[in-house]
């Protein structure tokens, strides 16, 4: 299946591939709202301009909202982060596989 054939998936990928977008969603996955400064600190290294741009994009996409307590994921944003919950275990497996391959190529 090509991404061109599946416009919704292509649109989602375009949104998520922006720098810090996934980190922003991940930082809010626990369900606790965070103000701008706390969110910036929890994401580590994101500039205020970039964070502002990402929060605007995610709000426009319906994945993020802002209230008295700060930024939080909408039900749709929560659904997305639940789909991403398997990424840490995949990343661990991927890293282990890469290490095994690297070690095997270094054998005499």
What's the rounded mean pLDDT across residues 5-33? 90
Give 33-87 pLDDT, tens digit per residue. 999 999 999 998 899 999 999 999 999 999 999 999 999 999 999 999 999 988 8
Which of the 8 DSSP states describes residue 13? H
Length of the chain counted residue by residue: 108
What sign has the CA pseudo-torsion 79, 85, 91, 96?
A: negative
Which of the 8 DSSP states describes residue 6? -
CB distance 21 to 5 below 8 Å: no
Residue 9 has pLDDT above 80, yes or no: yes
Instruction: Write down all domains in the chain, each with its CATH number in brackets.
Output: 7-105 (1.10.10.10)
How much of the chain is in helix, strand and coil states, percent to nearest 5? 60, 10, 30
pTM of this structure:
0.80
């Amino acid at each position: 299946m090509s991404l061109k054939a599946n416009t919704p998936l292509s649109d989602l990928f375009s949104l998520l591939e922006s720098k810090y977008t996934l980190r922003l969603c991940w930082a809010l996955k626990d369900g606790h709202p965070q103000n701008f400064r706390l969110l910036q600190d929890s994401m580590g290294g994101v500039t205020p301009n970039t964070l502002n741009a990402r929060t605007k994009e995610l709000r426009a996409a319906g994945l993020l909202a802002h209230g008295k307590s700060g930024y939080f994921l909408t039900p749709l944003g929560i659904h997305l982060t639940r789909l991403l919950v398997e990424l840490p275990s995949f990343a661990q497996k991927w890293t282990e596989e890469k290490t095994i391959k690297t070690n095997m190529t270094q054998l005499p």
